[in-house]
Each structure stands twice: as structure tokens, then as C-alpha cells.
Amino acid sequence: MAGHKKRKKSKFLERMQKKLFFCALAFTALFAALIIRIFYINEKDGKRYEKIVLAQQSYDSIEIPYRRGDILDRNGTQLATSEKVYNLIIEPKNILQSEDVKNDTIAALKKYFDLSDDEINKALEDGGSLYKKMIKKLKYDEIKDFKEFVAENANDEAKNVKGVWFEDEYERYYPYGSLACHAIGFTVSGNVGQGGIEGYYSDELNGTNGREYGYLNQDMTLERTTKEPVNGYNVISTIDANAQNIVEKKINSFMKETGAKNVSVLVMDPNSAEVLAMANSNSYDLNEPYEDSAIAYQFTANDEQGSVENQIKALSEDERIDCLNAAWRNFIISDGFEPGSTYKTFTIAGALEDGALKGDEEFFCGGQLDVADWTIKCHNHEGHGMVSVEQSLMQSCNVALMQIAQAEGRKTFAKYQDVFGFGQTTHVDLSGEASGLVYTEDKLNPVELATSSFGQGLTVTMMQIGTAFCSVINGGNYYEPHLVKQIVNENGGVVNNIEPTILRKTISSETSAFMREALEEVVSNGTARKAQVEGYTIGGKTGTAEKLPRGNGKYLLSFIGFAPVENPQVVVYVTIDEPNVEDQASSGLGTIIAHSIFEELLPYMNIYQTNAENRSIGEDVGDETATPVFEGEIPEEQLLDDLNITTEESADSENETEADNTDAESVQQVDDAGTEPAE
């Protein structure tokens, strides 16, 4: 075709072919040389490099544990802390890399850790393993000599000691053993809080684990990257270790000399509702919460069942768990009971505040009062005659209290049950709090209103009574009770200040002043005279309630008191469940224990003596006692049904539901008194 040029074909020139050939030959030669070098190195130094890799494999990733925060008392005393311990770890694969390493390492393990040949050989059976935990929770003193041996003889005697290292861990430790055990709680499964402050503030006490990552660089050198752990916060409690020790000492003394099913004591600051001490007689060592010693108090040696040790050994697993739960249970917050006459404090305070009482009234007590179709007796069946409002509290007159409740009416009475926090939890910073049982307004029929006025037919917790009582004597401020006042970091920096919180106003300062004077008369001249301490003004109220089933002679005694009357600084609340005495009801044991606590606690707290003389507005009415208040036989089953309690349960069992309505036939109660029970 005209004008069309034919393209030339490209040719692979001979010169280019030669260049490519020589390049390929050079690369082939270099690759062959590399292969030869690798074979040479592997033949000459392969074992050495393999040992380096083996020796460093375990450092690929190591978890670094955090330290759980301390629990301190209000003065900085350690109540719970975490101590570093060490787990002995061996690496069978590295130990078995040669006979020299194996022999020298085994010799060191036997020398410094008292391990037997059988124990070591068994651990080395899994030759491919790089992690075997040989001994747990060694103290530093137990590993110190080995570490010094390795460090000082790294190029000599210890050069062949391989595959041994220590894993850091923290162990919870309670320096004072059983002190404040129910307030503090303990930990399980590492750092899981169980009960008390340990349980409620577990998240604050816990931190975050760190981790160390390792890798080998081109020079076979170990490079490390570390993420540091974040330690937990320290918790500063409201507990005073010295006050707690005083309380527990008095409880232990009583249990040795007299004994009871349980004794509980709550000590509070009435001006903040801070808990200064909290103790139950069923104490246990926080360092050994699962040991037999924790449940031994629940058993008594006898001919039929043998020694306590044998009885515990005979327990099934479920039975043992039940026994442990009973030992760990904090009666002060978890168990409801009929308060008896301590409740009269709140009946009178509410009536005064609402205007149903002016304070100058008098009431006639003829020994009984007709309510609806029932005759309800006073503890003094012969009657107290005319009594003032103060005397009704001092002499613990049921008839006067029933008349006061009638003057209030169901609406006002129910209102102040709610104002004082009964039938509801106090929101104290502890888990497992019960709410108790009270009658709602629509269920406060005449008989229920009458018996509730003197603390029967309803249930409360010690924490409820203690918190409400603080408001009665402090001017009417209902504070939220609490056991922790501050959370700080490990350097002491404040993370959270837990200030006293006023939830509501219960009564006026004028009503509070009246109640303080009336409660002083109870101690000076009434049923709580045994609580007096020379040189101090003390006010308070006794309580005695017969437990269900009625008529078995088993009582729960109580006393709640405060000092000094002019400027309340401390509240002490004592309950004694079934004391080991013949006549429980009239023993006055609650006031006796309270007296012994006040006698040592007040000087410790630098509360000065006033040297005030007791004022008397009536005769000495003697010790607290209790007698049946209803005429005739009352079907007990109806009462149990209405309170949602089975016949096997006592009135002090935990129950967090509201009480159902009860009619007159369903109530049979007893109350405390200042005179001997009528024949």
C-alpha cells in the first residue's frame, strides 16, 4: 500500500542477554551462599540461639496485678490492707533444655524452697510447658535468699539455674483479725468483696491490672513494653477502732460470764449518723472466714452429739454453708425484731410534734384499757394511777401510750412511722439491709394502733431505731447513716468526701429538747437506772419483747441511750437475744451492758463529766420487765399469718415486706415494765 511503512521487529540483543545471565548467576550464587551460611550457623550455634528463645518465651505477656485499696478507721488505723505475695513459677521446657540446667535448677529449688524430688519431677512431667505454679503466696522473706543467690552468682553457681521466676500477687490481710468483722467484710475469689465495706465499696477498692509485653528484636534481645497497673482507692471509714474494741470487749465479757443467743451493739454519732462501732457476738476472724472457728459458736459439746469439732465435721456441704451464712450475717442491719418500749420514744415525739400532745397532759392508768372488743393490759396490772407524759415514758406505761396514740389517730401515727423511717431501709452503705414490718394507715385499726404505740406487732432493725433515735435527740435532723466518710487515692488525694446528709426534719428542736429531758428521767429514776455512769448525764429507753411463739419465756432485751444529755455526742444501742438467765424479761441486762460501755467509752471520747445530780419526778420503778398484755387466750396462728411469719420463725427474722392487716384476735403481746409482773 502506497505511503505505508513496515515496522521493524524488536530484537533481544546478545549484549542484553549476557547481562541478564550474569545477574541471575550472581543472585543464585548469593542465595546459595545464604543457604550455606544458615546451615553453618544452625550447625554451629543453633542450640545457643534456641536456648535464648526458650529462655525468653515466658516474657511474651505478663499480667501485673493492681493493689486493692486499704480500709482505714476514722483515725487512720489500717483495718484491711493488701500485702504483696509471690507465686513460685517454673518452666519445665526451659529447665529440661540440658542436664546441667536441669540438675542445677532442681538443686536450687530443693535448697531454697524445701521442695521434694517427687514434687519437682511431677511438675516436670509436662516437658513442653512454660508455666507451672509450684508454691502459692510466698512472703518476701521466703524468696529473698533465692533471689540473692541468683543475682550474686549469675555467672557462677547460678548460671545454669533457668526457668524459675515469681509471679506477683496481693493477699488481703486484716491486722486485727475479727475486729469489726461485720462492718468490714472480707474478700473472696481474689478481689470480690463479701459483705460490709468490702462488698459495698468493692468497685472503689479495686483497681485495674497492668500488663508487660515482650518481644525479641533482630539481635535476639528482649524488648519490653509495660502498661502500669492502676491501684484501687483507699476507703476511710467512720469506725473508731478503739471504740469498736471497747464494745467488743464488753460483749465478749458478757458472753463468757452470762451468754446469750446473740448480743449486738451499735454506736453512732447523733450529729451525723456516722457509725462509730458495730458489733455482734457471732464474730469471726476475717483472715479465716471459712474456717471451723467461724461457726463453732453455733454448737455446744454434749454426750449425744459429741464434741464441737465432731459436730462440725458431720455437717453436709449445704449445712456448712448455712452455718457460715449465719456467722457472716449482720444482725444490726439484716434482722427485724419487735422493739418493745424503745418504740414509745417515737410515739410520744410524733404526738408532741403534731400537736396531739402539749406536754403537760396527764393520763390515768388503771392497769388496763378497753380497745375495741379487747382489754389490753399495762405491764403493771394494778395500774400507775395518774401519770404525766414524762412519767409515761419513765414508767413505760402501756395504757398512757395507747391513749396518746388514740389522740394522734391512725393518720398521724402512720405519718410519723414514715417520718422516722420505719418500714423502709435507711440506705446505710451496707448490703443486705431489711426494711422491717409496720402497719400502713389503712391497716391501723384500733387494736393495731394500740399495740404499735408501745412497739408490739411490728418489726424494726437496729439501724432503723438507732438512726431515728439520733434525730429525736439531735434537734430533729434525720441523717442518712453511713460507715464511710472519705475515699482517697494511694497518694492521699481526696476522690470523694462523703459528708453527713440530712434527709429530712423529723421533729422541731423544742420537741427534741423535751424528749431529751424525758429520756434522762428514764435513766435517772425510771426503768434504766442501771445505765447510769457516775458524773455523766445519760438519757435512754429500755425495751423488752417476747419472741414468737409466745409463752416460751424467750425475750429480746434492748436499751438505747445517749450522753451527755445537754449536748448529745454519742448513742449506744444494745440488744440481747435470749440471755442465758432464768428470768430474761426482768433481768435489766441491756442497761448493764450499756453502763459498762459508757463507763469506758465516754472518757475515751473526751466527753467531760458534768457531775449533775439526778432529778426525780417519781418513785424508783425498778428494772425493765415484761408481761402479757391481753386478757384470755389469743390464737397465735393468726398473728403469725398476718405478720407473714411461719411458726418456726421468730419475730427477729428478716422480712422486708409490709405487714398485713390484723384483727383483735390476732395479737398477743408483752411489754417491758418497771415493776414485777402481776401474779
pLDDT digits (tens, 9 = 90+) for 548-596: 887 788 899 999 999 999 999 999 999 999 999 888 877 689 999 999 9
- Among 210-214, 260-264, 418-422, where is mean pLDDT lowest? 210-214
State the cell numbers at 183.
Answer: 462492718
The mean pLDDT value for 185-191 works out to 90
- Please report which confidence band the pLDDT of residue 668 belongs to, taking 50, 70 and 90 as the band edges: very low
Lowest mean pLDDT among 125-129, 521-525, 534-538: 125-129
Q: What is the pLDDT of residue 667?
A: 31
Residues 6+ apart with CB under 8 A from 551: none
Chain centre distance of CA 391: 39
Do residues 426 and 464 make contact, with C-beta atoms less than 8 angstroms apart? yes
Beta bridge pairs of residue 132? 90
Q: What angle do CA 143, 149, 154 make, to 5 degrees?
A: 130
User: In the numeric block, which cell numbers belong to residue 365?
Assistant: 392508768
Tell me if 520 sits within 8 A of 561, measured CB to CB: no
The Cα 614–Cα 539 span in angstroms is 11
Identify which has the larger pLDDT, 270 or 673.
270
C-alpha–C-alpha distance, residues 456 and 544, integer Å: 10
Q: Which three cell numbers stand for residue 423?
A: 418500714
Rounded to an integer, the average pLDDT of 625-645 is 44
**Mean pLDDT, rounded, for 145-164:** 85
φ, ψ of residue 539 to 5 degrees: the values are -120, 160
When the pLDDT of each residue in the chain is averaged and rounded to a whole number, the result is 85
The residue whose grid cell reads 403481746 is 669
329 and 335 Cβ atoms separated by less than 8 Å: yes
d(CA 508, CA 525): 26
User: Is pLDDT larger for residue 18 or for residue 64?
Assistant: 64
Decide which of 505 and 375 is more confident. 505
Q: Does residue 481 contact residue 275 with C-beta atoms inside 8 Å?
A: yes
* Separation of alpha carbons 560 and 136, rounded Å: 48
Residues 6+ apart with CB under 8 A from 334: 432, 433, 434, 461, 654
Query: What's the alpha-carbon Rg for the chain, to the nearest Å?
Result: 37
610 burial via Cβ count (<10 Å: 0-12, 13-18, 19+): middle
Whether 618 has a pLDDT exceeding 70, the answer reads no
Specify the range with the lowest mean pLDDT, choosing from 144-153, 215-224, 637-646. 637-646
* Residue 180, pLDDT above cutoff 60: yes
400, three cell numbers: 398512757
The closest of 600, 521, 527 to 557, measured between CA atoms, is 527
How high is the pLDDT of residue 51? 55
Calpha distance 274→73 (Å, rounded): 12
pLDDT for the residue 52: 54
CA 163 to chain centre: 43
Residue 46 has pLDDT above 50, yes or no: yes
Q: Which residue in 387, 371, 521 sits closest to 457, CA to CA?
A: 371
**pLDDT tier at 659 (50, 70, 90 boundaries)?**
very low
Dist CA 335 CA 252 (whole Å): 21
Specify the pLDDT at position 362: 95
Give Cα 338 to chain centroid, integer Å. Answer: 23
Residue scoring higher pLDDT (612 or 174): 174
Highest mean pLDDT among 271-285, 547-561, 609-623, 638-652: 271-285
- Whose grid coordinates read 475479727? 178
Which value, to the nearest 10 degrees, does the dihedral of the CA atoms of residues 397, 403, 404, 407 take? 180
Q: Which of 138-142, 269-273, 296-300, 658-662 has the lowest average pLDDT?
A: 658-662
User: pLDDT per residue over 307-328, tens digit each?
Assistant: 999 999 999 999 999 999 999 9
The share of the chain scoring above pLDDT 70, in percent, equals 83
Maximum separation of any 2 CA atoms in the chain, in Å: 151
